[in-house]
Amino acid sequence: MADANGDMSSLDEFIAHSPEMLFVARSDGALLRWSDMLARTIGPVLSQGTPLTELFHPEDRCALSTGWEQVRGSTTPVQVHGRILSAERSYRRFSCVVRGSRKEQLIYGSLRDVPLNDGVLDELTRLRDRDRILGALIKAIPVVVWSVDSDGVYTYHDGKGLESAGHTPGQFVGKNIFEIYGDSAGDVRRTLAGDLMHGLAEAHGCVWESWMIPVSEPAGQVRSVIGFSLDVTEAKRAQQALQTKVDVIEAQQRVIRDLSAPIIEVWDGVLALPMIGVVDSARTAEAMESLLDAISRRGARFAVLDLTGVQVVDTKVADHLIKIVKSIQLLGAEGIVCGIRPNVAQTMVELGLDLSAIVTKANLRAGLTYCMQRLNVRATTPRGST
């Protein structure tokens, strides 16, 4: 018995003072003994009964569990690579070799640092730079960067945008997004189903533009969602204010157009359309549509286009005016153009426009007089005569 105890003491002494990072664990992975070197490397997180898997990075635990199953009840050593939490509170890359003992139901193991080549160091530097850049961005821009696991539980929650929502970094970590937002978290469910989502939503008194990205396992299953939510409240308010101004301007323009080309029924069967200011193709087309509609509705016989207030016309406008008169004739009425200014008349001549088939008068009074005379002639002409 003394020999056995002596052997055990010698083994403990050897493990404790070995220059290597050695450990002894139960078959379920709970640590029983370890060397001083391992204790210094891992730090205070190492304690009696600590599962070895808890020391590994979450993404590397599956590989350790697989290797652990292989070595149980076998004396064949198995090597596993992974990142282990060190005393500096950062993950370091280690090679873990474990070997089982059938007799004692124990597993012996050792850890060794995995040397990093220049390529790995460059990659680590790049990753650190990226983390630093991303960290600076989410602290300066009104965004919230978040992630949830496959059950909808927050695993990350940070960003300057939390201030406008009245939240603090990490406040939702460990909480379920579906319990917090209910039906409004429907896009998250769709993302967990594999869809990349983008949209606007209101929450916590702000308007958020969010992008939701599914993160899949190699087998294709979605294991988490990464979210990026930008506070666009001010931009949305500015857009709404701008749209309100645009709507007001458009309403004013409609009033101005109606005032600049009002259709007046000066007598039963006689309509007048005074056109004022700058006349372009768009205004002429609108005036044509309104005038033809009024002739049809009121059964007018004459329509007088008064150009007294028009300073300038171009080829397109003049062509529209001729088309208006011809369209009036097709409706069974007669179109009269009056008030053509000398410079406008000169322009029409220079453009080579033929107004010989159109009745023109010097001013609105002359145009209306012409209409009255034509109405009187029609009234006194016996039916059947020409």
Establish if 219 belongs to a structural domain.
yes
- Amino acid identity, residue 238? A
* % of the chain exceeding 90 in pLDDT: 15
Establish if 358 belongs to a structural domain.
yes
Per-residue pLDDT of the chain (386 residues; tens, 9 = 90+): 444 455 556 777 888 888 899 999 988 889 998 999 999 888 888 888 889 988 888 888 888 888 888 887 677 888 888 888 887 777 888 889 999 887 778 889 999 887 766 565 566 567 677 778 888 888 888 899 999 998 999 988 898 988 888 888 888 888 999 998 888 888 999 999 889 999 888 888 888 899 999 988 777 788 899 999 988 888 888 888 888 888 887 776 665 555 555 788 888 889 998 887 667 777 777 778 888 888 999 889 999 988 888 777 777 777 777 888 889 989 999 999 998 888 878 877 887 777 777 888 999 899 999 998 888 866 565 555 44
Last residue of a domain, one of 81, 115, 149: 115
> Based on the domain organization, do 109 and 126 belong to the same domain?
no
Establish if 385 belongs to a structural domain.
no
Task: Kindly report, residue by residue over 280-294, the tens digit of the pLDDT.
Answer: 777 777 778 888 888
> Based on the domain organization, do 169 and 224 belong to the same domain?
yes
- Identify the CA nearest to 335 among candidates 362, 363, 357: 357
Establish if 38 belongs to a structural domain.
yes
Task: Kindly report, residue by residue over 9-20, the tens digit of the pLDDT.
Answer: 677 788 888 889
d(CA 297, CA 171): 68
> Based on the domain organization, do 107 and 17 belong to the same domain?
yes
- How many structural domains are present in the chain? 3
**The domain spanning residue 30 has which CATH number?**
3.30.450.20
- The boundaries of the domain holding residue 223 are 121-234
Last residue of a domain, one of 115, 132, 157: 115
Q: Read off the tokens for 12.
A: 């403990």
